[in-house]
Copies of this chain bind each other. A is one copy, B any other.
Amino acid sequence: MFAVEVRDHIMIAHSLPRPVFGPAQGMHGATFVVDAAFFTRDVDENGLAVDIGAATTVLREVLAPLNYQNLDELPMFAGKVTTTEVIAKHVFDQLATAVAGGKLGEGSHRICRLKVTLHESHAARGWYEADL
């Protein structure tokens, strides 16, 4: 299996208003350094699994609606608790839609799996990965 992984980041505010979150129940925030990995079973005649430039562009487009936002106010997260896991799944779903829409170039159809990792600090991270 081949994979290409690119990195970007977002800076967001949110609250986690459930007792289990203790001190994180109130309004606070995070920088999420986001790694998006695109998997393929082979490479094309150009030696590409996925074009890194295209992957970088698509990741930036998917993250743009989240960057510098208060996630509590975004309709896409209404009724949800925006944990690291939930945001990772959201980014995964958006990337999967981009792949299905051919936005990763000619090789989009070869992409068979995605992994989205959110680093919330130097000491903690979460991810979601699944076959497409």
Contact = CB atoms under 8 A, between A and B. Distances in A.
27 contacts: A2-B126, A2-B127, A3-B126, A4-B85, A4-B124, A5-B124, A7-B124, A8-B123, A9-B121, A9-B123, A11-B120, A12-B28, A13-B70, A18-B46, A20-B51, A24-B68, A26-B68, A27-B70, A33-B122, A43-B89, A46-B81, A46-B83, A47-B82, A47-B83, A52-B120, A52-B126, A122-B122
A101 to B, nearest CB: 19
A129 interface: yes
Interface in A33-59: 33, 43, 46-49, 51-53, 56
Given A43-B86, A88-B2, A26 B120 contact: no
A98 interface: no
State the number of copies, please: 6
Contacts of A121: 9, 11, 31, 33
Interface in A67-110: 67-70, 73, 80-86, 88-89, 105
A119 to B, nearest CB: 8
Interface residues of A, number: 62
A26 to B, nearest CB: 7
A86 B45 CA distance: 11
